[in-house]
Structure 1
Amino acid sequence: MQGPFYEGPPRAPCARWRLALPMLVALLTLPLLGGAAFAHAVAEGDKGYIQEITGINLLPFIYLGAKHMVTGYDHILFLFGVIFFLYRMKHIGIYVSLFALGHSTTMLLGVYFNVGINSYIIDAIIGLSVVYKALDNMGAFQRWLGFQPSTKIATLIFGFFHGFGLSTKIIEYNISPDGLVPNLLAFNVGVEIGQLLALAAILIVMGYWRRTPSFWRHAYTANVVMMTAGFVLIGYQLTGWVVS
């Protein structure tokens, strides 16, 4: 159960909201400022490393997985949308676990069975996931459809697509089959560590913001900005697909 005014009344003002709001705006507008260059991309140095090493390298792959998550703004935007109206850690844990389950499953299976999807298409779908979550938070589906689609199922399904986005990139870099399974598992552990770090940062910012009346005044606008960022990502990727 999610959507506008999910639970909890506005809280008392907090002076620190002036610090939290710029951080929030920076988080939401990163795709607009930086383009789509980092969506599921792997840095050139990391790419070369992945292509060259063989055997079991657990710690390096844990590091690479964590680095991917904390620098992957598409993941962060989606997580931000997922927890936007969630206050209780129990609910946050459920939704984040569903996303992690979907993301991990398709990333591991996609690489292991060499199932790749056109990177432009999959990243456009990931942009769509951001748009979907913003619309969900704004109550659009309740108004348009007359009912609330299951946010748990949507989170799991979009988690699958986020995982395919990463598996597609890893396949393109021809990772060595020597030590493939342990390295993939280590990479996935790193991704989950990175996700927890990103989630902690989001929750700190949201915790400050939710203590102020500003949260309820600007919650709709924040989701419009997030939706716009998702459309920018979709347009960028579809354009790349057409001209490539």
Structure 2
Amino acid sequence: MRRIRPTAAVIGLVAAAGILTIAAPAAAHGFTSVVYADVTAQGGTVVSELKLEYDLLIVSAADAEDDDSLFDDGTYAFEAQDAQLQVQALEDHIDSVAAYVTAGFTAAVGGEVCPARLDDELEMTLAEGVPYVRLTVVSDCAPTNDGHVITSTLFGDDEGYVRDTKAVVTYDLDLQHGSAALDAQHPSFDTEQTGWERFWSFFALGAEHLLTGIDHILFLLALIVGSRRLREIVLAATSFTIAHSVTFILAAVGVVSVPAVVVEPIIALSIAVVAAWYLLRLGRKREHVDDLSRRSGPLGLDRSGWLRLAVVFVFGLVHGLGFAAALGIDQPWSWTLLWSLLVFNLGIEAVQIGIILAVFPLLVLLRRKAPKTGMWVAGIVAAGVTAAGLYWFVERLLGA
């Protein structure tokens, strides 16, 4: 097989530009958001500690309460990337913030919404590298033996700023403890929810997280185009799955904690490295990329193959930390918690397998029927993914 001609390089640059067009808005916000909530009973009250995305809270509360000065002050603080200014902007307009939050996150007993107020203490934090504000809603509920209904309509589709907002709720209430995932179709849950309801909510949350996580999808595409046989993609996917499952569970239960400012740039770098690996190998070989005659060693992998597998495993450990940050569960270890984590991870794996089954056979067929075209297509995809990974890496470093 001849070396890639200049035409292929030009096409690769076009593909890179196309993927960067997707990457740029995806790296910023504006598509979806996650609300994190930890709900507990304290005496005769229900205490809900919330983590809300700062920029969305500013625009949503300002719009809902017709408070233009909140928008101006909050936007200035957000663009200045100053946590103290951000807290000050919220405190200066606490009535508007409280009205929006207490209306959008409620606890109810017997069909009646409990009167709620906002605690005075506010704190800035990060979730997946995005500024979040931590605040507390205190709901005064009457004693009950029938359980509580928790509802979240924060950052709804009708506001027009984001879509498909999820609320990940952990709770210790009514002698029940566990987790729930809420969305626009299912904005509420009862503390007496069934096991099947909990299973489906976390399975769907895991699946949707991977489907909407363009960075994780591009990493998977880099693995696919860099694999020449089914054995290679199976080993690479298995290595990635084992690695991210380990760190995902350890981070979610609080055993491991790594700041998002470290995790997010490395995730971006992993995309570029794995995709560029294929491009480097492609540039060194003058013969068929699919020629397996030079393979040797256990499982049919040569030294380069095993090195690639080790790199995928290491980066998989980092991706697991990113998955854990997306889930946002922060509660003591329990079997219920482990069950929720495993189901969330199962949703991720289902989508991952689906993407491999959809893309890899097409790539193999193309390589066999038209080897030259197949090489160009794989190279174009790898070039675009590499460019996107490098773009995110620089952006996340500068934003850290």
Preserved CA contact (<8 Å) 2:17 2:384? no
Match of 1:233 in 2: 392
User: Aligned pair 1:50/2:41, yes or no?
Assistant: no
Hey, what does 1:182 align to over in structure 2? 339
- CA offset digits 1:49-77 (Å, max 9, x no partner): 43569526222111111111222211111
**Aligned partner (choices 22, 25, 29) of residue 34 of structure 1:** 25
Asked if the contact 1:46–1:64 (Cα under 8 Å) also holds between the matched residues in 2, the reply is no
Distance 1:239 1:26 in 2: 21
1:133 and 2:274 correspond: yes
Q: Given the alignment, which residue of 197, 202, 221 partners 1:61?
A: 202
What is the CA distance between 1:229 and its match in structure 2?
A: 0.1
- 1:25-68 CA-to-partner distances (Å, cap 9, x unmatched) read 89944643533147xx8545654243569526222111111111
Q: Give matches, 1:124-163, under 5 Å.
A: 124-139=265-280, 148=304, 150-163=307-320
Provide structure 1 residue ranges, at least 5 long, that are not aligned to the other structure.
Answer: 1-8, 11-20
TM-score (normalised: structure 1):
0.73
Percent identity, please.
Answer: 25
Does the CA-based 8 Å contact 1:28-1:77 persist in structure 2? no
Structure number having the greater strand percentage: 2
**Contact residue 126 and residue 161 of structure 1 kept, 8 A:** yes
**Does the 8 Å contact 1:51/1:176 carry over to 2?**
no
Cα gap change, 1:62/1:42 in structure 2, threshold over 3 Å: closer, same or farther? farther
Residue 35 of structure 1 aligns to a residue in which SS?
helix
Root-mean-square deviation (CA, aligned residues, Å) is: 3.4
The residue type paired with residue 314 of structure 2 is I
Distance 1:86 1:63 in 2: 29
Q: Distance in 1 between matches of 2:360 and 2:17?
A: 15
**TM-score of the superposition, structure 2-length normalised?**
0.47
Return the structure number with greater helix share. Answer: 1
Aligned counterparts of 1:141 and 1:66: Cα–Cα separation in 2: 33
Contact kept, 8 Å, 2:16 with 2:383, in 1: the verdict is no
SS in 2 for 1:117: coil
List runs of 5+ in structure 2 lacking aligned partners: 3-11, 36-163, 179-194, 285-302
In 1, the alpha carbon distance for the partners of 2:374 and 2:315 equals: 26
Distance 1:106 1:29, change over 3 A: same
Poorly superposed stretches of 4+, deviation over 6 Å:
24-27, 140-143
Decide whether the 8 Å contact of 2:16 with 2:387 is kept in 1: no
CA distance in 1, matches of 2:396, 2:241: 24
More contact order relative to length (CA 8 Å, sep ≥ 6) = 1
Which secondary structure state, in structure 1, belongs to the residue aligned with residue 27 of structure 2? coil
1:77 maps to which residue?
218
Q: By how many angstroms is 1:160 displaced?
A: 0.3
